[in-house]
Structure 1
Amino acid sequence: MLRTLKNYPTTINLLLSGALILTLARAITLPYLVIYLASRFHLDVADIGLVIGSSLILGSVLSLYGGFLVDRIAIYRLILGCCAVFSLGFIGTFAARELWLFYLCLVLINLAYAVLDIAVKAGFARQLPVAERSEAFSIKYTLSNIGYAVGPFLGAGLATLDISLPFLLSSGLGAGFFCLYLALGDRHLNSRDATHPPMAFLALGKQLLRDYRLVCFTLGGLLSAVVFGQFSAYLSQYLMVTTSPEATYRIISNLVATNALLVITLQYSIGRRISQRHLGRWLAAGLSLFMLGVGGFALATSLPLWMLSMALFTLGEIIVFPAEYMFIDSIAPEPLRGLYYAAQNLSSLGGALGPILCGMLLATQPPHAIFYMLALFIIAGGLFYCLGAANPGQAGARAAG
Structure 2
Amino acid sequence: MRLRDWDQNLKIRLAGESVVNITFWMFFPFLAIYFTDSFGKSTAGLLLILSQVVSCAANLLGGYYADKYGRKRMMVLSAFAQGAAFIVFAFSSSPWLDSALLGFVCFTVVSMFGAVYWPASQAMIADVVEEKDRSDVFAIFYTSTNIAVVIGPIIGGIFFADYRFALLLMAGVLNLVLGIVLHYKITETAPVSKMEESGQASNWISVLGDQLKDYKVIMNDRIFLLFIIAGVLVGQTFMQLDLLFPVYINEVVTDQPLLQFGNWSYVVESTQAFGLVLAENGLLVAIFTITVTRWMSKYKERNVFIISSFIYAASVLLFSQTSWIWGLLLAMLVFTLAELMTAGIQQGFISELAPADKRGKYYAAASLRYTFSKMIAPVSIPMSAWVGYTWTFFFISLLAILSGVIYYRLFVKFEQRKMETAPKW
Q: Same fold (TM over 0.5)?
A: yes
* 1:288 aligned partner, one-letter code: F
Using the TM superposition, name which of 376-385 and 366-375 deviates more: 376-385
Using the TM superposition, name which of 95-104 and 242-251 deviates more: 242-251
Q: CA deviation at 1:155?
A: 2.5
Q: CA deviation at 1:210?
A: 1.6
CA distance in 2, matches of 1:339, 1:192: 23
State whether residues 19 and 117 of structure 1, in contact with CA within 8 Å, keep that contact through their aligned partners in structure 2: no
What SS class does the counterpart of residue 164 from structure 1 fall into? helix
Using the TM superposition, name which of 80-89 and 169-178 deviates more: 169-178
Name the CA shift for 1:169/1:337 in 2 (closer, same or farther; >3 Å): farther
State whether residues 41 and 381 of structure 2, in contact with CA within 8 Å, keep that contact through their aligned partners in structure 1: yes
| Identity within the alignment, % | 18
State whether residues 226 and 374 of structure 1, in contact with CA within 8 Å, keep that contact through their aligned partners in structure 2: yes
Name the CA shift for 1:370/1:89 in 2 (closer, same or farther; >3 Å): same
Q: CA deviation at 1:190?
A: 4.7
State whether residues 311 and 334 of structure 2, in contact with CA within 8 Å, keep that contact through their aligned partners in structure 1: yes
Using the TM superposition, name which of 276-285 and 96-105 deviates more: 276-285
> Is structure 2 residue 58 aligned with structure 1 residue 62?
yes
Name the residue aligned to 2:238: 228
> Is structure 2 residue 119 aligned with structure 1 residue 118?
yes
Q: CA deviation at 1:92?
A: 1.9
Name the residue aligned to 2:189: 188
Q: CA deviation at 1:127?
A: 3.0
CA distance in 1, matches of 2:181, 2:195: 28
> Is structure 2 residue 291 aligned with structure 1 residue 269?
yes
Q: Decide which of 351, 367, 378 is 2:374's aligned counterpart.
A: 351
Name the residue aligned to 2:210: 203
CA distance in 1, matches of 2:409, 2:23: 37
Name the residue aligned to 2:248: 238
> Is structure 2 residue 106 aligned with structure 1 residue 105?
yes
Q: List alignment gaps of at least 5 residues for structure 2.
A: 93-97, 256-267, 419-425
CA distance in 2, matches of 1:124, 1:285: 33
State whether residues 41 and 385 of structure 2, in contact with CA within 8 Å, keep that contact through their aligned partners in structure 1: yes
State whether residues 242 and 367 of structure 1, in contact with CA within 8 Å, keep that contact through their aligned partners in structure 2: no
* 1:294 aligned partner, one-letter code: V
* 2:21 aligned partner, one-letter code: T
CA distance in 1, matches of 2:33, 2:224: 37
Q: CA deviation at 1:144?
A: 0.8
CA distance in 1, matches of 2:215, 2:296: 26
What's the TM-score once normalised by structure 2's chain length? 0.79
> Is structure 2 residue 29 aligned with structure 1 residue 31?
yes
1:25-84 C-alpha deviation (Å, 9 max, x unpaired): 331221221333355xx3223323333343233212331111222333311111111111
Name the residue aligned to 1:80: 76
Q: List alignment gaps of at least 5 residues for structure 1.
A: 395-401
RMSD (CA atoms) = 3.4
CA distance in 2, matches of 1:159, 1:287: 33
> Is structure 2 residue 168 aligned with structure 1 residue 167?
yes
State whether residues 67 and 115 of structure 1, in contact with CA within 8 Å, keep that contact through their aligned partners in structure 2: yes
Q: Decide which of 88, 104, 108 is 1:92's aligned counterpart.
A: 88
Q: CA deviation at 1:93?
A: 1.1
State whether residues 253 and 325 of structure 2, in contact with CA within 8 Å, keep that contact through their aligned partners in structure 1: no
Q: CA deviation at 1:307?
A: 0.5
1:280-338 C-alpha deviation (Å, 9 max, x unpaired): 34323432332232132123242111101101111222233443344456748789848
Name the residue aligned to 2:329: 307
State whether residues 71 and 335 of structure 1, in contact with CA within 8 Å, keep that contact through their aligned partners in structure 2: no
Q: Which structure has more RCO (C-alpha within 8 Å, separation ≥ 6)?
A: 1
CA distance in 1, matches of 2:185, 2:399: 43
State whether residues 361 and 370 of structure 1, in contact with CA within 8 Å, keep that contact through their aligned partners in structure 2: yes
Within a 5 Å distance, the mapping from 1:315-330 to structure 2 comes to 315-328=337-350
Q: CA deviation at 1:263?
A: 1.0
Q: Decide which of 390, 398, 401 is 1:376's aligned counterpart.
A: 398
Name the residue aligned to 1:282: 304
CA distance in 2, matches of 1:130, 1:273: 24
CA distance in 1, matches of 2:189, 2:57: 28
* 1:376 aligned partner, one-letter code: L
CA distance in 2, matches of 1:338, 1:181: 28
CA distance in 1, matches of 2:47, 2:126: 34
Q: CA deviation at 1:274?
A: 6.2
* 1:344 aligned partner, one-letter code: S
Name the residue aligned to 1:360: 382
* 1:347 aligned partner, one-letter code: Y
Using the TM superposition, name which of 225-234 and 188-197 deviates more: 188-197
Name the residue aligned to 1:399: none
Larger of the two Rg values belongs to structure: 2
* 1:138 aligned partner, one-letter code: A
Using the TM superposition, name which of 291-300 and 260-269 deviates more: 291-300
CA distance in 1, matches of 2:299, 2:328: 34
CA distance in 1, matches of 2:120, 2:325: 38
Name the residue aligned to 1:5: 3
Name the CA shift for 1:13/1:49 in 2 (closer, same or farther; >3 Å): same
What SS class does the counterpart of residue 72 from structure 1 fall into? helix
CA distance in 2, matches of 1:132, 1:59: 30
Name the residue aligned to 2:229: 219
CA distance in 2, matches of 1:334, 1:87: 39
Q: CA deviation at 1:94?
A: 1.2
